[in-house]
Structure 1
């Protein structure tokens, strides 16, 4: 095992997120942190995880992390590529995706995601990229994993705009809705792991990363965050996981800089 000085909080987050994936899962992958974690899982404990990207690439095995869903690396390393309508209508809406792995700009206490705007809708302070395929992924995938860095700007009591449904404004947004997935089942940050409360769906910290205190998590969260009665300690990354992650990121940096 490692000491706390051997890895960064970002590496801790990525390794923890990667461990959430299991062999045999079919994973709809978002760009950025979710892609990093999903590919680390494929390179370590889950070599048979099936990675799908929004551009229609099935069972893709990129050697470097893609810049976007249109990155040629995804198509070149995929088993096959289908049209975007087929990807969404047959694979996603057809119930063939077990987990969606998403990032976001804002998340609230009921795991709703905002990638649309910051501020008032009619006069926003910041325009964000939008939903892309995330709303459909969160609706139709069997469950959703979310990973992002922990800060008061990202973790707000109520998102400014619900781009992607978690559990709605009152935690009941999925109640009684047919043909819909479980929604977010875990949120992985650089400080902790959260899961929705089984009764009211409010996010609850279930595991703290090594060296992280409750106070640190509370300071980085924009509401009075709950902690599970039996709070676990997140296992540290292994040397093998860290070596593969660092090599993956180094290969990516070399490739994207033209080396």
Structure 2
């Protein structure tokens, strides 16, 4: 299942010659950037979250502060970092902290507005799997694991998740392994769990955008061009609800695409 029309790498309608062509990763970065507007501090993972924050810094949110797991706060790298320990992150950073200080005072202190993560699997209440696909003892795929994602999930005011592929093996009824539990679910199971955040409020996938309702359940809010609500429902492993006023996600603008391609990621480190 794909959000694209017959035009290669183009989600714009085939008969709209004026619309710029764009790829799925460009769409995900542009849409994610818009949801970050008005955010002050973002604890972002490497990959598409980093790309989205870089776009936000150069467009809608020049004052946004990006925090990296390596201890860099207020990063303004001269080029797109490829890892959380990329030396470019130190250049122009507002602070470089030890990891105990970062996690103990900045993250657990409640200073992060948005935690921005990726994952291999997500369930209907926003718990994430980034550990294994399949059985723990003999998995089909063994993944990098949590890193700081569990703490980011528990302590950020809210969490955004970006998913490159929206299908029933990624959007699942039950995770193969729960790496980062939703704070809401964790608190229901144990009121003493020190989870202060709201958990996942927004998921940006290659088919559309899901938003959490008042119960914390992820529901369909927008579909991308060329995608129907039925397609997204079919690609989701739980009975996906559709929020009132379902709309079509605005396509990336020419300015967003120019920034992504020519200033932020000309080497296509994350753009595909």
Using the size of structure 1 for normalisation, the TM-score is: 0.89
2:262 aligned partner? 247
| Number of residue pairs matched by the alignment | 253
In structure 2, the gaps of 5 or more residues are 1-15
Change (3 A) 1:249 1:39: closer
* Alpha-carbon distance, 1:84 to partner: 0.9
2:203 aligned partner? 187
Check the 8 A contact 1:171/1:202 in 2, yes or no: no
Query: Quick check: 1:95 aligned with 2:106?
Result: no
Name which of 172, 178, 191 aligns with 1:156: 172
Check the 8 A contact 2:220/2:241 in 1, yes or no: yes
State the alpha-carbon separation in 2 of the partners of residues 44 and 26 from structure 1: 16
Check the 8 A contact 2:184/2:198 in 1, yes or no: no
State the alpha-carbon separation in 2 of the partners of residues 106 and 131 from structure 1: 13
Describe the SS at the equivalent of 1:36.
helix
* Alpha-carbon distance, 1:4 to partner: 5.7
* Alpha-carbon distance, 1:144 to partner: 0.5
In structure 1, the gaps of 5 or more residues are 255-259
Tell me whether 229-238 or 102-111 shows the greater mean CA deviation: 229-238
Residues 123-142 of structure 1 aligned to structure 2 (within 5 Å): 123-142=138-157
Describe the SS at the equivalent of 2:256.
helix
* Alpha-carbon distance, 1:111 to partner: 1.1
Change (3 A) 1:84 1:238: same
Q: Deviations for 1:163-189, whole angstroms, at most 9, x for unmatched residues? A: 011257799468785651111111111
Change (3 A) 1:78 1:4: same
Describe the SS at the equivalent of 1:6.
coil
Check the 8 A contact 2:55/2:264 in 1, yes or no: no
Change (3 A) 1:228 1:45: same
Superposition misfits of 4+ residues, deviation over 4 angstroms: 1-5, 167-179
Name which of 70, 78, 92 aligns with 1:63: 78
Query: Quick check: 1:15 aligned with 2:30?
Result: yes
State the alpha-carbon separation in 1 of the partners of residues 187 and 238 from structure 2: 15
Name which of 32, 45, 61 aligns with 2:60: 45
2:11 aligned partner? none
